[in-house]
Amino acid sequence: SDLAKLLEGRVAGEPQNCLPLTSITSSQVIDKTAIVYRVGSTLWVNRPKGGADSLDDDDILVTKTSGSQLCSIDTVQLRDRSSHMYSGFVSLGEFVPYRRAKGE
């Protein structure tokens, strides 16, 4: 899978409930599976608690958050990249950090 390729050579760490928005440098959608947020060299994988079936790597993520952090209680709206039509939403799960295995 795309996610497995992305996480090759990485080790999962302790899940967290929130990520500081300012530290997120990019995000990537893995079809029907997860959203991957990049913070420095760490990839934080979020497997949504609900709505993961509507994840499509063509979608733009519109994040609704109440503060400076993205948390597992937040929802992310999905909009089609070309038409900008609303195409669903996901309720986030925990953020699991994947870091490169030491010695690489």
- The pLDDT tens digits of the residues spanning 29-71 come to 999 999 999 999 999 999 999 999 989 988 898 887 778 999 9
Q: What is the largest CA-CA distance in the chain?
A: 45
pLDDT at 104 over 60: no
3 state DSSP class of 84:
coil
State the pLDDT at residue 72.
92
Inter-residue contact 90 to 75 (CB < 8 Å): yes
Tokens of 51: 């709505």
State the pLDDT at residue 84.
87
State pLDDT tens for residues 5-31: 999 999 999 999 999 999 999 999 999
Inter-residue contact 62 to 76 (CB < 8 Å): yes
Residue given tokens 């690489």 in the structure block = 104
State the pLDDT at residue 11.
97
